[in-house]
Amino acid sequence: MAAWCNNTCKAKMSNASRAAKEKKSTDGKNNANKSNFFLPKEANANSASPLQAESKDDNVSATILSELKSFRRENNEKMMEITSAITSLEQSVGNMGERLAHAEGRINQVEEGSARSTRLLSYLLRREKQLEDRCEELENFTRRNNIRIYGIKEESEKGDMVKWTTSFLRELLDLPLDAPICIERAHRSLQQKPSGDEASPRSLIVRFINHRDKQQVLTKAWSTKNLQFNGKKIYMDHDYSPALQKKRREYTEIKKQLKEKNIRFQTPYPAKLKVHLKEGVKTYMSAWEAAENLLEGTLITLLNVYAPPNSDWNFYRMIFDIMTSVAEGVTVCGG
């Protein structure tokens, strides 16, 4: 009996102590939950179980690995595109290099051809000038037996032109009847016939068979002063080509000044000017050279005129007469 009571008491005591422990544990959990309620989420996450943390780390690693694989795949695709573009550029650069080399070769060929063409053109121009000079010389050589007579009025010649010219020269130059004048042909220049009596008549071209006869007639004409026919002054000269006549006409104004100053001059063939000065004879090869040298040492008068506006021409004529009366040499006037 006593033993049963003791066992019963021990059982009750153990049950009581077990219940107390369970209550204490339950209260501890409730208190812990209450305290965790007021903690931040980071604290709650840190207070999660190790299994939950490990599962979350695995998810993050899988996501990162997936992103890395995707980045690698995209990077490989971009690299393939870049490689393809670089290959295409290399091919284009190679093609451009070939085309550039071909273009440089063609440019070199063109430059060489241009240099050859330039040399050839220079040679042809020199040759052309030589041939022109030669043709000019030959043309003037074929005219060496010709003379030109200037100032004979149109339609003065009658009948046969050769007979009329022969008789005209004998009478004009007072040549003896036995003097040989063998004329091959005679005609007017091939210019258009002038209209009107005041127009300058065409020159008369006379060709002699013998060059000595031509020189004899021309020398006699030059030595005879004031040659006239029907009251008109005439003169004779060699028959030059048109180009040579143009060059010789450039001396016209200079020759006028030399005549006014009574300076003897000559115009040798082909287009020269020989001037007999006090210090000696000077020969000029062009009209510009002659003008430049002949004006050297010439007195030049500078006149500056100030006058009121006037429409009367006689007023300006009077001013001009006054200037020319006081000026010497070459006069340069301004105002």
Distance, in Å, from the CA atom of 89 to the CA atom of 91, rounded to the nearest integer, reads 5
Residues 151, 232 share a domain = yes
Pair 152, 235 in one domain: yes
What letter represents residue 262's amino acid? N
Q: Is 35 domain-assigned?
A: no
Q: What residues contact residue 286 under an 8 Å CB cut-off, 6+ apart?
A: 250, 271
Does 112 lie in the same domain as 73? yes
Residue 151 lies in a domain: yes
Count how many domains the chain has: 4
pLDDT in tens, 278-292: 888 889 898 888 887
**Does the residue 13 lie in any domain?**
no
Per-residue confidence (pLDDT) for residue 300, from 0 to 100: 44
In a domain, 41, yes or no: no
- Asked if 193 and 210 count as a contact pair (C-beta separation under 8 A), the reply is no
Q: Are 254 and 273 in contact (CB under 8 A)?
A: yes
> CATH number for the domain including 167?
3.30.70.1820
Q: For residue 325, tell me if it sits in a domain.
A: yes
> 217 and 179 in one domain?
yes
- Which of 96, 119, 139 is the endpoint of a domain? 139
Question: Do residues 268 and 290 both lie within one domain?
Answer: yes
Count the Cβ atoms, other than its own, within 10 Å of residue 87.
Answer: 10
Same domain, 309 and 327: yes
Residues 305 and 330 in one domain: yes
Contacts of 105 (CB under 8 A, 6+ apart): none
Would you state the pLDDT for residue 186? 94
Single pTM value for the model: 0.55
260 occurs within a structural domain: yes
Same domain, 134 and 157: no
149 and 232 together in one domain = yes
Same domain (yes/no): 215, 263: no
Same domain, 209 and 258: no
CATH number of 293's domain: 3.30.250.20
- What does each of the 335 residues of the chain score in pLDDT, given as a tens digit? 444 334 444 444 444 455 545 554 555 444 444 444 444 444 444 444 666 666 777 788 888 888 888 888 899 999 999 999 999 999 989 899 999 999 999 999 999 999 999 999 999 999 999 999 999 999 999 999 999 999 998 888 888 999 999 999 999 998 887 888 899 999 999 888 888 777 789 999 999 999 999 999 999 998 988 899 988 899 999 999 999 999 898 888 888 888 888 888 888 888 899 998 888 888 989 888 888 777 655 544 445 555 566 556 566 666 666 666 655 554 545 45
Domain holding 130, by residue range, is 64-139
Q: Is residue 306 part of a domain?
A: yes
**DSSP helix/strand/coil, 328:** coil
